[in-house]
C-alpha cells in the first residue's frame, strides 16, 4: 500500500457528488410533498412512502448487496480496498436502514393503528440492523487489520443472506406489512404520478448513497494511510 506524506495529500473540498445527492433528495422531497397526489385512504401520512421505500430499497439491495460482494471478494483476494468498501457500505447502509426503521412505525401507526408488530418482515429487518451494527462494533474491537477484515467479511456475508428472506417474508408469513407493489413479477400497482415520484426518489437517494459512499471510502483510505504513516498499524 502506498503511504502518502502529509504534504502529498490533496486539499480537502466538499464532495460534489455528495452535494448533488443532497440537492437531489431535497428536490425529490419537494415533488413528493407538494406535487404528488394525496392517497385517498391513507391521507398525507402515505407520503412517508417516498422516503421509506427508497431508503429500504437502497439499504437492502444496493448497500448490503455491495457489502456481500466486497466481503466475498475480500475473502478471496485479501485486498484491503475491498475491506474498506465493505466497511463503508455497512455504515452507510445502516444509516439508510435506520431511516427505514424510524419512518416505518410512524407510517404504520396511521395505517395499522400500531407503531410496531413482531411479524416476520419487521422483526427480520430489525435483526439485520442489529447484525450490521454488530459488524461495525466488531471492527472497533479488533486491532489486527487482517483478522478484523476477515471476521467482518464473514459477518457481512451472513448479514446479506438475510436480505432475500426479508424480501420474501411477506409471501411466506402472515404479516401486516404490505407485499411489494413495484418489485414484483407483474406490473407495478401504483398510479403513474406516484410511480414517477417514487422512481425520482429512488434515483435521488441513490445519488446521495453514492456521494456518502465516496466520502466514507475516502475517509477509510486516508485513515489507514495515516495509521501506517504514524506507525500504529
Footprint of other proteins on 98-157 (CB under 8 A)? 98-99, 102-103, 106-107, 109-110
- Specify the residue, 40 or 137, whose C-beta has the smaller distance to other proteins: 40
171, 179 Cβ separation under 8 angstroms? yes
Range in contact with other proteins (rule: CB under 8 A) among 6-14, 115-123, 128-136, 180-188: 6-14
- Specify the residue, 26 or 172, whose C-beta has the smaller distance to other proteins: 26
By CB under 8 A, name the one of 36, 55, 70, 125 that touches other proteins. Answer: 55
Q: Return d(Cα 104, Cα 98) in angstroms, integer.
A: 10
Range in contact with other proteins (rule: CB under 8 A) among 56-64, 79-87, 168-176, 211-219: 211-219
16 phi and psi angles, rounded to 5 deg: -65, -35
Nearest to 109, CA basis, from 183, 198, 176, 25: 176
Q: Is 228 a binder of other proteins (CB under 8 A)?
A: no
Range in contact with other proteins (rule: CB under 8 A) among 112-120, 121-129, 132-140, 220-228: 220-228
Name the minimum Å distance from CB 218 to other proteins. Answer: 8
By CB under 8 A, name the one of 17, 45, 73, 199 that touches other proteins. Answer: 45
By CB under 8 A, name the one of 20, 42, 80, 175 that touches other proteins. Answer: 42
Within the chain, residue ranges assigned H as helices are 16-34, 49-57, 64-77, 80-111, 120-141, 145-172, 192-230
Q: Is 41 a binder of other proteins (CB under 8 A)?
A: yes
43 phi and psi angles, rounded to 5 deg: 75, -160
71, 89 Cβ separation under 8 angstroms? no
Q: How many CB atoms lie within 10 A of CB 17?
A: 15
Compute CA 108 distance to the chain's CA centroid, rounded to the nearest angstrom: 21
By CB under 8 A, name the one of 68, 131, 159, 212 that touches other proteins. Answer: 212
Q: Return d(Cα 201, Cα 53) in angstroms, integer.
A: 9
Name the minimum Å distance from CB 42 to other proteins. Answer: 7
Residues paired with 39 in a beta bridge: 43
Q: Is 174 a binder of other proteins (CB under 8 A)?
A: no
- Specify the residue, 51 or 120, whose C-beta has the smaller distance to other proteins: 51
Amino acid at each position: 500500500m502506498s503511504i502518502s506524506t502529509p504534504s502529498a495529500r490533496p486539499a480537502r473540498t466538499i464532495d460534489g457528488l455528495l452535494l448533488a445527492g443532497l440537492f437531489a433528495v431535497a428536490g425529490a422531497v419537494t415533488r413528493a410533498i407538494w406535487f404528488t397526489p394525496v392517497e385517498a385512504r391513507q391521507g398525507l401520512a402515505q407520503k412517508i412512502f417516498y422516503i421509506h421505500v427508497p431508503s429500504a430499497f437502497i439499504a437492502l439491495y444496493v448497500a448490503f448487496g455491495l457489502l456481500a460482494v466486497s466481503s466475498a471478494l475480500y475473502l478471496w483476494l485479501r485486498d484491503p480496498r475491498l475491506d474498506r468498501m465493505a466497511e463503508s457500505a455497512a455504515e452507510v447502509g445502516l444509516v439508510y436502514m435506520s431511516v427505514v426503521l424510524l419512518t416505518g412505525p410512524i407510517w404504520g401507526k396511521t395505517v395499522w393503528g400500531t407503531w410496531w408488530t413482531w411479524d416476520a418482515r419487521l422483526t427480520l429487518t430489525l435483526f439485520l440492523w442489529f447484525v450490521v451494527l454488530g459488524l461495525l462494533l466488531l471492527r472497533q474491537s479488533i486491532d489486527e487489520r487482517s483478522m478484523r477484515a476477515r471476521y467482518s467479511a464473514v459477518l457481512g456475508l451472513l448479514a446479506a443472506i438475510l436480505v432475500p428472506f426479508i424480501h420474501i417474508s411477506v409471501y411466506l408469513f402472515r404479516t401486516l406489512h404490505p407485499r411489494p407493489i413495484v418489485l414484483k413479477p407483474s406490473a407495478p400497482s401504483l398510479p403513474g404520478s406516484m410511480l414517477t415520484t417514487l422512481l425520482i426518489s429512488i434515483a435521488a437517494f441513490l445519488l446521495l448513497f453514492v456521494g456518502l459512499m465516496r466520502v466514507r471510502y475516502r475517509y477509510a483510505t486516508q485513515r489507514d494511510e495515516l495509521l501506517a504513516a504514524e506507525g500504529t498499524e
